[in-house]
Structure 1
Amino acid sequence: MHFLGELIIILIVTTLLGQLFARFNLPPVIGQLLSGIILGPAILSWVHPGNIISLFSEFGVILLMFLAGLESDLDLLKKYFNLSFTVAGIGVILPVIFMGTASLLFGMKFLEALFIGIVFAATSVSISVEVLKDANQLHTRAGSAILGAAVVDDILAVVVLSLFTTFSHEGGKSGLTNNFFLNLLIEVIYFGAVWLIYKFIAPYFMKAAEKLEVNYAVVIASLVLALTMAWVADFVGLSAVVGAFFGGLAIRQTPQYQEVNSSVSAIGYAIFIPVFFADIGLSMTFASFIKDIWFIIIMTILALVSKFWAGKYSSEIFGFSKNDANIVGAGMISRGEVALIVAQIGITHHLFPEDIYSSLILVIIVTTVLSPFILNHYLKNLSK
């Protein structure tokens, strides 16, 4: 029962630190991650990574990506498709080029450098949404551009991650067979099945579940669908988070999605998701901090610049004013939980050197913390 004691400590500290960061208008997720650093081997050594914590963490990341899919507004994406796709597309390409090239210059192998670029390709829009809400700018053209681009960003990041795990055998995932092209065909079939589930199966499945006289039948059905898609994704050689994300997208377009979102959020954020973020912190050490200081500084600058330029100059192409374009650029900077998820997948499957893991997490934290301050700066210019 030693695990129960560790779980109690994790839940208390993640909640308190999350609240502390929220009070200063900073992402609570950073407080949750710091709790793992404080409690783990890096500082207090009260909690250590273990099998049960890892299981809770794995389920937490699946729920987190399922919720990300549930919260992706495809109607908004359709309305601003050209703008959103341009901002997001360039916002994926620039970090991969900038961060990947820098990683090569720091002596990493090509596939390792490419994966580090992918880590910083996604955007966590939840932080920007809170800042935009406070400034009453969420439903402006700039706010809609950020929201739409974030949806595309997440989808592109998931697809790029899928392609990387398909083409790279570095992570020990060579697919269902030993034939690369057969594996690729199987994964294409999987995405075809995802489309069928999205278009036809999910609505009927959820409608049937609604008729059952069982408590939370709709929520159970949604989890069964998402977990099945995650399990099959992992089975065919993709990442389980890919299936969970598309499971969320499939449920999103059903009438029951709000009930599912509310219930799964309660399940996830009450226990499994805090454990996931704490588990990331448990894996960190500061042994190589001084040695990697230039890596941290340069990667932080590139992480900020790549997303900001992508959002800014893409928006200007569509006729945005200079300040509105700056708002879009600043709104795309935050990496947050999405980058943490990809980094965790990378370290689990040995897709980049373990000795830079802590430094990468630190870069993600710094860019995530700085993003609301940069966005606020440009929002204040609107009132001048």
Structure 2
Amino acid sequence: MHPFAFLDEIALMSVAAVSVILIFNRFKIPPIIGLIATGLILGPSGLALVAQDEIIATVSELGVILLLFTIGLEFSLDDLKRLKNIVLVAGPLQILFSTLVIGAGATIVATWTSDTIGTKGAMLIGMAMALSSTAICTKILKERRELGLPHGRAVLGVLIFQDLAVVPIMIIVTLMSPAAALSIGDIALRLVTLVVVTGGLIIGLRLLLPRLIPYVTRVSTPEVLILGGLAICFGTAYVSSSLGLSMALGAFLAGVAIAGGEEGHAIGRVLEPMKDAFTSIFFLSVGLLVNIDWAWMPVNIATAVAILIANAVVVTAILMIMRVNLRTAVMAGIILAQVGEFSFVIARAGLDYGVITEFGFQNMLVSIIITMIVTPTLITLAPRLAERAAPAICFVPLVRRWYGQENDDEIELNRFAGGEDGPVVTIIGAGVLGRNVASVLRRTAIPYTMLELNGETVTELRRRGEPVIQGDMTDEQTLIHVGVRNASVIIVAISDQTAIAQGVSSVRKLRPDALIVARTRYAKEADIIASRGADVVVTEEYESSIQVFVTVLEHLGVERDIISAQEEVMRLDHYGLLGRLQRSQQ
């Protein structure tokens, strides 16, 4: 057999990517930047050893399709319904105002550099730069377990509409061509067709896939599960493309259609390695696209910075107007500031239809890639930047009055339980303690899931809308399913001491770095549970005795400071691991 012509390029890219990522890892630089940097090194801007041919472009697009499919598996239609205001209001407004702001900026820059781009060129640049990177944002947020947090939900809602908007934008680009001769009726027909096709695809997938998926998952053979998952993913992407929609959007909708069950979870798990491999090729291909003109690099950097600021401000302002929490709005604006992969497609279409020149096209690519390269750093810094920016923004009187008004319609973006990125808190046991903790977490907007052994209790809680799963904490697979692997805090609120000890050991093995809080009735059992891996063991004997003497001292008129001091002494001296933990924190 003769080797394939592209095999040497794939091998070279893989070896170079591993080397660059290992070097970058020593400096704590995210792998995505390493992959893009590898493409820049091997591509026309560097050593010119690899060019982005049709095969590499196809493989990279498959990576984006797989990524969106697995992201869709983490959601359900009920989840997406809660984002309808973000998708249908914030999404269109973001594209509209980002296009206007960036288009106006492009006109100013073109005037400064004596480059005539015209109104159509400025509009195309604005539309292209208004689209963020679905691949980069969702991948990084998923790795950081933030995709389900409020800012992650806001980001996802805007990204969904951006993906929907790619087709209408492409229609607009075709109208910008000097040779375009479409009437208003033709334009209206295309847009109506787009809406009807999208709605029909969603309904069809929702009705069809849940009936087909059991045939794929009922067989225990891994090959059937993998091939069945690929058939659903790529088959839906093909149908979506045939109907004139984005392939990635079709794959995302397919994932959503089968999400929420064991079948979808199993498919997502087996496709994960393949998705990572293909998406790595995508990020490599980004660097291969560009041929940098170093004389224009200062202008490209300045342009990229201006785009980042413009998009961040527009997204933040729109979410603020919609009464999204201020910190959430700022974080979402920072995360969505970059420009995405579909912008390459729009820029290429603009070049093909004569709206922009080759010189303008290359400068657009360089600016887009600069925004992509800084995105991992921006996402990492987003919480700190938001913490500093939110109080400063609140100093603006209009903002202070706006958020100070009574608001019954504030958009809820709390994370939905389950999914690959999991809950923040996992509560094991849905008795009085578990329910009280869940009630507090719900009121404070902290995402959680619950694990309960009793079937009737599970049914009752699900009827109330609680994110609860039935199962035994001594079963490791059940713990994984409820989200223990990704939870930051695990609260063990059951009464079976044997199950607590065994379950805590399993939890600690799955999450060595999580905070495990367990409760026990008797002090003699606390040390056993602590030795199995619990960080804090709350003992009912001591809690009862503390509550009794506090009540007595308060009734006798003892000063509160003295009562607090006695309470602290008792905890430090007699409360086992919790006492030692408090000592270590002092």
Q: TM-score, normalised by structure 1?
A: 0.78
| 1:294 aligned onto 2:299 | yes
Aligned length: 363
* Cα pair 1:219 1:263 within 8 Å, conserved: yes
Structure 1 residue aligned with 2:72: 69
Which of 91, 95, 99 is equivalent to 1:96?
99
Task: Give 1:220's aligned amino acid.
Answer: L
Structure 2 residue aligned with 1:202: 209
Which of 249, 267, 277 is equivalent to 2:274?
267
How many Å separate the matches in 1 of 2:311 and 2:187? 33
1:19-168 alignment to 2 at 5 Å?
A: 19-21=22-24, 24-72=27-75, 78=81, 82=85, 91-105=94-108, 106=110, 107-108=116-117, 109-120=121-132, 124-127=137-140, 144-168=149-173
Residues 319 and 102 of structure 1: is their aligned pair in 2 closer, same or farther, counting only changes over 3 Å?
A: closer
Residue 8 of structure 1, CA deviation: 1.5
Residue 84 of structure 1, CA deviation: 8.0
How many Å separate the matches in 1 of 2:40 and 2:210? 42
Residue 9 of structure 1, CA deviation: 1.9
Return 5+ residue gaps in structure 1 as ranges.
none
* Cα pair 2:292 2:362 within 8 Å, conserved: no
How many Å separate the matches in 2 of 1:171 and 1:207? 47
* Cα pair 1:104 1:113 within 8 Å, conserved: no
Which of 377, 381, 391 is equivalent to 1:369?
377
Residue 342 of structure 1, CA deviation: 1.1
* Cα pair 2:102 2:125 within 8 Å, conserved: yes
Task: Please identify which structure carries the higher helix content.
Answer: 1
Structure 2 residue aligned with 1:229: 236
How many Å separate the matches in 2 of 1:314 and 1:188? 25
1:174-213 alignment to 2 at 5 Å?
A: 180-212=187-219
Structure label with greater radius of gyration? 2
Residues 334 and 83 of structure 1: is their aligned pair in 2 closer, same or farther, counting only changes over 3 Å?
A: closer
Residue 307 of structure 1, CA deviation: 2.0
Q: What is the DSSP-based 3-state SS (H/G/I as helix, E as strand, rest coil) of the residue aligned with 1:124?
A: helix
Q: Which moved more, 1:114-123 or 1:194-203?
A: 114-123
* Cα pair 2:100 2:123 within 8 Å, conserved: no
How many Å separate the matches in 1 of 2:213 and 2:385? 44
The answer to which structure, 1 or 2, has the higher relative contact order (CA under 8 A, 6+ apart) is 1
* Cα pair 1:111 1:168 within 8 Å, conserved: no
* Cα pair 1:165 1:237 within 8 Å, conserved: no
Residues 17 and 308 of structure 1: is their aligned pair in 2 closer, same or farther, counting only changes over 3 Å?
A: farther
Structure 1 residue aligned with 2:557: none
Q: TM-score, normalised by structure 2?
A: 0.54
Residues 360 and 29 of structure 1: is their aligned pair in 2 closer, same or farther, counting only changes over 3 Å?
A: same
Residue 309 of structure 1, CA deviation: 5.5
Residues 161 and 79 of structure 1: is their aligned pair in 2 closer, same or farther, counting only changes over 3 Å?
A: closer
| 1:333 aligned onto 2:334 | yes
Residues 299-341 of structure 1: per-residue CA shift (max 9 Å, x gap)? 4234234325633673486384xxxx245413442359x9432
